[in-house]
Amino acid sequence: DGPLGGFPGYDAVIQAMSGMMSVNGSPESGPVRVGTPMVDMGTGLNAVIAILMALLERERSGRGQFLDLTLYDCAVALLHPQAPNWLMSGREPAITGNAHPNIYPYDAFQTRDKQAFLAIGNNGQWARFCAAIGADGLAEDARFADNAARSHNRAELKPLLEAKLADFECDALCETLLRQGVPAGPVNAIPEVFTHPHTLHRRMRASVEGDEWEAPGIAAKLSRTPGSVRAAPPFFGNATREVLAEAGYAAPEIDTLIETGVALTERRRG
């Protein structure tokens, strides 16, 4: 419902309307669509959460209820920290590129061979980071004494850090920092992700034996009833009869559903 209720919606359009694009990108690029369909995926995840909440409540009350989710609402709910920043201060959020608006260093930095992303969230991490890269002087510099100072003076700090980081190979640097408790990671391309040892160990590259089909694996890993990828997805309508039969429909009922167009076995044109 509401002024936009009932209108068509696509991920990128809702990204634009919800303000998501306005905080993504860089000062040079202007607003940019998020590269993955965050609104579509976020709405689906919220729908699952809502269904589980309603099922749990039904166990207590014995009553069902209607679940109302929209792409727009779910996109607005994802505007963190920009939404609370504006709601509490009245200052319109600016595009900051890769950098976090409230925390620094929380940004991508060029190393000798590729970019590394650093997410230094407290003074302890800052001190360990500076020690790891041989920059103890920065840890003692009053301009960068705490997060507020580092965030305020980020324009001065970034080139100083990149001058130091130019001496380091990215993957080795990130491993060193992680072992020191400093969140850091290389900016990987998709091929690097799906050949990474951690991706393979966590079974996040799924395939079906005897089939050329591959896809990302199952992120939620249950200890007693783990999910698995058992087959490649069928073509449109290929499994209609099988699914309806599993749901308890008899063959004549399935024929009727298909003949009347309620269920489809092939994609309609037009």
User: CATH number of the domain that 164 lies in?
Assistant: 3.30.1540.10
pLDDT of residue 260: 95
**Does 137 fall in a domain?**
yes
Domain closes at, from 187, 219, 246 = 187
* pTM for this prediction: 0.83
DSSP designation for 121? -
Domain range for 263 is 234-270
Contact 166, 112 (CB under 8 A): yes
**Does 41 fall in a domain?**
yes
- Among residues 186, 177, 182, the alpha carbon closest in space to that of 112 is found at 186
pLDDT of residue 240: 96
Q: What parts of the chain have a pLDDT lower than 50?
A: none
pLDDT of residue 172: 97
Q: Say how far apart CA 141 and CA 125 lie, in whole Å.
A: 15
pLDDT of residue 231: 86
Same domain, residue pair 110 and 179 = yes
Distances (CA, A) of 252 to 17, 57, 243, 263: 47, 37, 14, 13
**Does 262 fall in a domain?**
yes
pLDDT of residue 234: 86
pLDDT of residue 270: 60
Domain closes at, from 159, 187, 215 = 187
Pairing relationship of beta strands 25-26 and 30-31 according to DSSP bridges: antiparallel
Q: Which helix (H) or strand (E) holds 48?
A: helix 38-61
Pairing relationship of beta strands 106-110 and 30-31 according to DSSP bridges: unpaired
pLDDT of residue 80: 95
Tokens in use for 56?
Answer: 């749990």
Same domain, residue pair 82 and 113 = no
Q: Say how far apart CA 142 and CA 233 lie, in whole Å.
A: 58
Q: Considering its fold, how many domains does the chain have in total? A: 3
Matching residue, tokens 């407290």:
122
- Among residues 75, 83, 70, 81, the alpha carbon closest in space to that of 17 is found at 75
Distances (CA, A) of 35 to 143, 249, 268: 35, 41, 30
pLDDT of residue 212: 83
Contact 15, 38 (CB under 8 A): yes
pLDDT of residue 233: 86
**Does 211 fall in a domain?**
no
**Does 248 fall in a domain?**
yes
**Does 256 fall in a domain?**
yes
Same domain, residue pair 123 and 162 = yes
Pairing relationship of beta strands 115-119 and 184-186 according to DSSP bridges: antiparallel
End-to-end CA distance of the chain: 28
- Among residues 218, 230, 118, 223, the alpha carbon closest in space to that of 173 is found at 118
Contact 258, 265 (CB under 8 A): yes
pLDDT in tens, 134-162: 999 999 999 999 999 999 999 999 999 99
Domain closes at, from 187, 217, 246 = 187
**Does 54 fall in a domain?**
yes
Same domain, residue pair 18 and 78 = yes
Same domain, residue pair 142 and 179 = yes
Q: Say how far apart CA 228 and CA 206 lie, in whole Å.
A: 9
Residues β-bridged to residue 7: none
- Any idea which residues carry the catalytic annotation? 40
Q: Which helix (H) or strand (E) holds 82?
A: helix 82-89
Contact 216, 237 (CB under 8 A): no
**Does 170 fall in a domain?**
yes
Same domain, residue pair 113 and 72 = no
Q: Phi and psi of 251, rounded to 5°? A: -55, -45
